[in-house]
Structure 1
């Protein structure tokens, strides 16, 4: 049997020890509940992109639930490398405890919000209750399905959309409170999150109208069937800007800051933005947005910052203990 030359053995050994090897890295994304399908597509795309760029294998795991409930889980010790929530208060409440840096908005473009969406109505096919705008949701006998604003960012956007609609019509705070009170009087059940509300409406067949994010409504039409539901765009709605952040205390302890940061940066890349658009969220990238413009109807919108004094004020006034929502719900 021929022997391998000694020089070749030495060369092989040197090559083996000099070739970089990488351990498998796992990062954990804690997100809100209507982004399951989005991140099921984002995660493998990022994993492949990161492998090609760095040579390192990375796996992204994810968790979904009501946005505010997810934030509470992180506060209670759930080790998220990144959080991808649907409203900034759910990241601020984590930052207030020092788990996320206070400047999290400044670390990524668009105040760390890779896409937008808005609030729309989903009705039974043919719109048998003739629902066209927010006023129709206060009709007696109508059942409106919406998640709980105390646990769900989706629910908070719905509540604030209705409040802002009343203000935009010329009403004051008292008129807005009366309007939202009449709307929530038509809500038979408050689910913990947006996906739970969707299940109540579609599978349990409860309610005449589901108020939810446009992304969820478009996904319903595509995945369950356009023959079962219609989407109604109200005359005015809220612009939601779901934010993202690296969880500093976790990534520094686990040594995953580089991968976690790259993961969130991928959301703003052309490839990430294309996936975002295909999953029915409105992309930030101008070229990608122009390509998909026909899928997202023009809509008059307002923001929490522009009309309602910002999230800090809205959170305290409407959703804090004993706030306006508590008063309405008790009534």
Structure 2
């Protein structure tokens, strides 16, 4: 073989080798490119799927379970009509209002908090979990409905209980929620105290004497409003249950029907049920807009009528006026107008060694 021929064969082999390598590289790069496209598409699909499914957690107080059980399907239907490509679900958590607030403060991942006293939302605000302007984010200082404290008695009212002063009668046994841990119990206690101030022309000494006599008759302090109702209605303990109007009506019209009557005092306390977005959770989850929509809808006519149907007093006056037959007029006072801010109320009345502890000789510890 001549040197020219050898040189040609060597170049031919080299070119062939380079061609094979080039094809291999091209196939490899094409494969990588295709894989990248698949991965990108998969990620896009995952993101799209996530965007179409929203899950909210509503952490609420004990006796609100019946309202939100019926409200959630109403809201979901409304939300689905406006957002047909989105599936939204709402989970509920219920317990004593302040216990629930503490659970959220300690890490329970609530999207919204719907409590029955302002101090519970204020606690979350102080922890940086709720926006400082939460009261201004919704109408009526973020209170969609209210209630008041009434008395549930045995059928035909054998102890002849007509107003607050009758709760001090000898032999009357009272059941109520524990004011140390529940909003229901705090409103009951403050209702009695406010009645005393009203009846005795703001005489603190006479008011404390009256409240002390009333608390002597408390047979059971329960851990929540619903637990107190169960103790009174189903376990048959006590002569009178001091509780929210909506809870009393639920007992009278459903599981206690025919066994109990409701007594409206002439003067009682207004309980407000504030709501707020837990931004520390929703901002991370991307559910802030959905959480706001959930709370906004509480002021819709269907939601307000549902509240009235469940004996909650709607904040929308036109709906309240339409339901005067089931929600009779009653003179009420706001605790903040009578006792100051919730921080002041909690410090004065419900802190360890506060007014409640001093007046309730058998107070739970």
Q: Considering the TM-score relative to the shorter chain, is it more than 0.5?
A: yes
Q: State whether residues 187 and 269 of structure 2, in contact with CA within 8 Å, keep that contact through their aligned partners in structure 1.
A: yes
Q: State whether residues 233 and 256 of structure 2, in contact with CA within 8 Å, keep that contact through their aligned partners in structure 1.
A: no
Equivalent residue, structure 2, for 1:112:
142
Give the secondary structure class of the aligned counterpart of 1:80. coil
- Separation in 1, partners of 2:282, 2:256: 41
Equivalent residue, structure 2, for 1:13:
none
Give the secondary structure class of the aligned counterpart of 1:295. coil
Equivalent residue, structure 1, for 2:64:
35
Per-residue deviation, 1:66: 0.5
1:105-126 residue CA offsets vs partner (Å, 9 max, x unmatched): 1110000000111000000000
Q: State whether residues 143 and 209 of structure 1, in contact with CA within 8 Å, keep that contact through their aligned partners in structure 2.
A: yes
After TM superposition, what 4+ stretches of structure 1 lie above 3 angstroms from structure 2? Answer: none
Per-residue deviation, 1:310: 3.1
| 1:290-329 superposed matches below 5 A | 290-329=321-360
Equivalent residue, structure 1, for 2:268:
237
Equivalent residue, structure 2, for 1:52:
81
Q: State whether residues 216 and 361 of structure 2, in contact with CA within 8 Å, keep that contact through their aligned partners in structure 1.
A: no
Query: Could you tell me which of 257, 262, 274 is aligned with 2:305?
Result: 274
Equivalent residue, structure 2, for 1:84:
114
- Separation in 2, partners of 1:310, 1:133: 27
1:187-226 residue CA offsets vs partner (Å, 9 max, x unmatched): 1221111000001101110000001100011111111254
1:119-171 residue CA offsets vs partner (Å, 9 max, x unmatched): 00000000000000111101122110100001110100000000000100124
Per-residue deviation, 1:321: 2.3
Equivalent residue, structure 2, for 1:124:
154
Q: State whether residues 96 and 224 of structure 2, in contact with CA within 8 Å, keep that contact through their aligned partners in structure 1.
A: yes
| 1:1-331 superposed matches below 5 A | 22-55=51-84, 56-169=86-199, 170-330=201-361
What value does the CA root-mean-square deviation take over the aligned residues? 1.4
- Separation in 2, partners of 1:177, 1:225: 33
- Separation in 1, partners of 2:80, 2:257: 39
Q: State whether residues 68 and 150 of structure 1, in contact with CA within 8 Å, keep that contact through their aligned partners in structure 2.
A: no
- Separation in 1, partners of 2:349, 2:100: 20
Which protein has the bigger helix share? 2
**Greater Rg by CA:** 2
Q: State whether residues 47 and 58 of structure 1, in contact with CA within 8 Å, keep that contact through their aligned partners in structure 2.
A: yes
Query: Any gaps of 5 or more consecutive residues in structure 1?
Result: 1-16
- Separation in 2, partners of 1:320, 1:166: 21
Equivalent residue, structure 2, for 1:10:
none
Give the secondary structure class of the aligned counterpart of 2:325. helix
Give the secondary structure class of the aligned counterpart of 1:132. coil
- Separation in 2, partners of 1:128, 1:265: 44
Of 196-205 and 273-282, more deviation after overlay is shown by: 273-282
Equivalent residue, structure 2, for 1:4:
none
Per-residue deviation, 1:271: 1.6
